[in-house]
Chains A and B, each alone.
Chain A
Amino acid sequence: MTASISSFAKDQTIRLADVRKSYGDYDVLKGIDATVARGEVVVICGPSGSGKSTLIRTVNRLEEINSGSIFFEGQDVHAQMSGRELNRLRSRIGFVFQSFNLFPHLSAVDNVAMSPIRVKGVAPAEAHEKALKLLDRVGLREKANSYPGQLSGGQQQRVAIARALAMEPPVMLFDEPTSALDPEMVGEVLNVMKSLAAEGMTMMCVTHEMGFARDVADRIWFIDAGQIIETATPEEFFKNPRHPRAQRFLADLRH
């Protein structure tokens, strides 16, 4: 543990070292090496089935890995640790799902306030007050008492972002947060993500929203068949993608 803290620079929030994972014979991640610096916004893109979801889910250990290591603020995420330690670690990594996964039996404000109360032991009144502020921040103060079933997809995803933020994580992971949305709702979710980035949140986003990548990303990781085959700034990536696969991917997206 001590080695892991000292051997990596402090400003590396996330560091992946030779991360490999397979399902049976099938290698999904074939040696991922990458870092995310504090305050950096990384957009991960690549063809369907290339391992993007798997990759991002290994960062908070929703998926186990076969070898390699992942460090979050110097802590080895996949090391042997107690359930408690892992829960504490996970609570510090915000995660937003493609399918929102709001808790349908709880109102919007309870969705946001529940985990601070139950996981962190925050007093209910305080947690609710904070939840209302977070809902306000994603533009849904007036929907506080609505249930997920009564909200549109875009509204649900914004509540899901507020729910993740309620744990005050230093980093947020997004797995295709707008892919399940009707086109007219994509913008409202991206705007929330943009404002987060503007406030300096460290973010890893799997997304095919190239407009978002161009405007907000500091770096783009292009992943194909379980490997990061290109990392570049958005300007480089869009103007001049080096790898033929990336060129084809961008060409396909434009059509």
Chain B
Amino acid sequence: MIHDLIAIIDEYWLLLLIGQYPNGPLGGLANTLILSALSIVLAFPFAILLAFGRLSKYRVLRWPVTVLVYVTRGVPLLMLVLWSYFLVPLLTGADVPSFLTMLTTLVVYQGAFLSEIIRAGIVALGQGQMDAARALGHSYFSAMRYVILPQALYNMIPSMLSTFVATIKDTTLGYVINVPDLTFAASQVNNQLLTQPFQVFLILALTYYVICWSLTWLTNVVERRITRRRAGLIAPKRRGQFQTSLTPNATEQP
């Protein structure tokens, strides 16, 4: 059994790692990670925009965004994937690569989930922080940028890491529209071997498990740190005196 696993890995590790590359498109684990990372990186700003829309005092913004968020959250991801796969080419007439279809779907889907986390983080800060910033003369967006978001996003780092873990698992659904990811590579291996599906998919499961477990572990570490920092037990790390929090963008990295 163990012997079989090692033999399969020995034979097919490159396919599992990068797919057909460089003879075909990049695939395998590399593509899974790239797809996950890209989705989360793009879903994040998208989610902030959605959260702003949900919190807006203007109905024309609030209502459509609320509908989008609710629909997206209330539909299985697989449905969204299939919709985009069949609808987008119909609507645009263009032949969209499956990777791009999957990426867009994941961005919208994770964006909707993240936006609710961000919204909750902003609401949890209470009105006092916004009042204080406005009283000092900050505009709404300046207050968001320098006062509200740095706190809300920092508090949300654990939730965002868990969303990242969820995204990695969600990329497996790309299989149904032929996104060449790790799952796709594993099924190719299985098609070649034919006789060892259990072994092949065990390797697949273990790989996902190790990646997601490490990230979950990291999430817990970060969460504990944040809890301790909120309690005032440790001061945030500073690069130089006075400068850190006021250098542009220093507070915006997720």
- Which residues of A come within 8 Å of B, CB atoms? 60, 62, 83-84, 87-88, 90-93, 95, 97, 99, 101-107, 109-110, 113-115, 117-120, 124, 128, 145-147, 149-150, 163-164, 167
Which of B17-25, B28-36, B241-249 is the interface stretch? B241-249
Kindly count the residue-residue contacts between A and B in the assembled complex, taking CB atoms under 8 Å apart. Answer: 91
Min CB–CB distance A134 → chain B (angstroms): 14
Q: Which of B131, B133, B242 has the most CB of A within 10 A?
A: B242
Asked if residues A99 and B136 are in contact (CB atoms below 8 Å), the reply is no
Which residues of the partner chain B approach A115 to less than 8 Å between Cβ atoms? 133, 136-138
A92–B136 alpha-carbon span in the complex (Å): 8
User: Looking across the interface, which residue of chain B has its beta carbon closest to that of A95?
Assistant: B135
A106-B245, A119-B142 in contact; A97/B137 too (CB < 8 A)? no
A62 to B137, CA, bound (A): 11
Contacts of A104 in B (CB 8 A): 151
Q: Binding site of B, secondary structure by majority: helix, strand, loop or mixed? A: helix
Contacts of B236 on A, CB cut-off 8 Å?
105, 147
Return B222 CB to nearest CB of chain A, in Å: 16
From the candidates B129, B137, B150, B231, name the one contacting A90 in the complex (CB within 8 A).
B137
State the B residues within 8 Å of A (CB).
Answer: 128-129, 131-140, 142, 146-147, 150-151, 154, 230-232, 235-236, 238, 241-243, 245-246, 251
Rounded to whole angstroms, the CA-CA distance of A113 and B137 in the bound complex is 13
Contacts A105-B245, A109-B242, A147-B235 known; 14 new A-B pairs at CB < 8 A: A62-B134, A87-B134, A87-B138, A88-B137, A90-B135, A95-B136, A103-B132, A105-B150, A105-B151, A114-B245, A115-B136, A115-B138, A145-B242, A150-B235
Contact A105 B251 (CB under 8 A): yes
User: Residue among A104, A105, A110, A164 with the most chain B CB within 10 A?
Assistant: A105
* CB–CB B150/A167 < 8 A: no
Chain A residues whose CB sits within 8 angstroms of the CB of B131 once the complex forms: 62, 97, 101
- Cβ contact within 8 Å between A101 and B136: no
A-B contact pairs, 28 of them (CB 8 A): A60-B135, A62-B131, A87-B137, A87-B139, A90-B135, A90-B137, A91-B137, A92-B137, A95-B132, A95-B135, A97-B131, A103-B133, A103-B147, A105-B151, A107-B245, A110-B242, A110-B245, A115-B136, A115-B138, A117-B246, A118-B142, A119-B137, A119-B138, A128-B242, A149-B230, A149-B232, A164-B136, A167-B136
Cβ-defined contact, A163 with B151, below 8 A: no
Nearest-neighbour CB distance to chain A for B238, whole angstroms, equals 8
Bound together, the chains give a CA A87 to CA B246 distance in angstroms of 20
Q: Chain A residues near B136 (CB, 8 Å)?
A: 90-91, 95, 115, 119, 163-164, 167
Taking a contact as CB atoms closer than 8 A, the residue among B128, B142, B245 that contacts A101 in the complex is B128
Given the contacts A101-B129, A110-B246, A93 and B241 also touching, CB distance less than 8 Å: no
Chain A hits for B231, CB < 8 A:
149
Q: How far is the CB of A144 from chain B (nearest CB, A)?
A: 8
Min C-beta distance of B241 to chain A, whole Å: 7
How far, in whole Å, are A48 and B129 apart by their CA atoms in the complex?
23
On chain A, the residues within 8 Å of B151 by CB distance are 103-105
A97 surroundings in chain B (CB, below 8 A): 128, 131-132, 135
Known: A87-B138, A113-B242. A101 touches B132 (CB 8 A): yes
The distance in angstroms between the C-alpha atoms of A87 and B235, with both chains bound, is 32
Interface contact A150-B134, CB-CB below 8 Å = no
Q: How far is the CA of A180 from the CA of B105 in the complex (A)?
A: 49
CB distance from B216 to the nearest CB of A (A): 26
Chain A residues within 8 Å of B138, by CB: 87, 115, 118-119
Contact of A124 among B135, B238, B246 (CB under 8 A): B246
